[in-house]
């Protein structure tokens, strides 16, 4: 949040910009790690709120939510 707030003024001067927040699928699907999932859900909520707040300044806010990836071995 502090990093985003620090660059907003520069992005407004340039006429827009983009911010990417890296969250996790754990923010969407509850799992065994409650604290981790709560923090990731907060990042998703933050992105939504900032997107509304900064839309007039032409600053896009995106969230990437990668999930678990398993390598499947075929025999």
36 catalytic? Reply is yes
67: phi then psi, degrees, rounded to nearest 5: -115, -175
DSSP class of 51? H
Q: Is pTM beyond 0.85 here? A: no
Mind listing the pLDDT tens digit for each residue in 57-71?
999 999 998 876 655
Contact 1, 41 (CB under 8 A): no
Q: Which of 36, 49, 58, 64 is catalytic?
A: 36
And the tokens for 32? 């065994």
Residues with Cβ within 8 Å of residue 30, at least 6 apart in sequence: 37
pLDDT less than 50: residues of the chain: 74-75
């Amino acid at each position: 949040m502090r990093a985003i707030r620090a660059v907003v003024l520069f992005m407004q001067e340039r006429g827009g910009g983009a911010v990417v927040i890296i969250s996790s699928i754990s923010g969407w699907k509850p799992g065994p790690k409650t604290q981790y999932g709560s923090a990731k859900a907060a990042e998703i909520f933050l992105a939504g709120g900032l997107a509304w707040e900064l839309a007039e300044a032409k600053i896009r806010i995106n969230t990437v939510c990668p999930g678990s990836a398993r390598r499947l071995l075929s025999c």
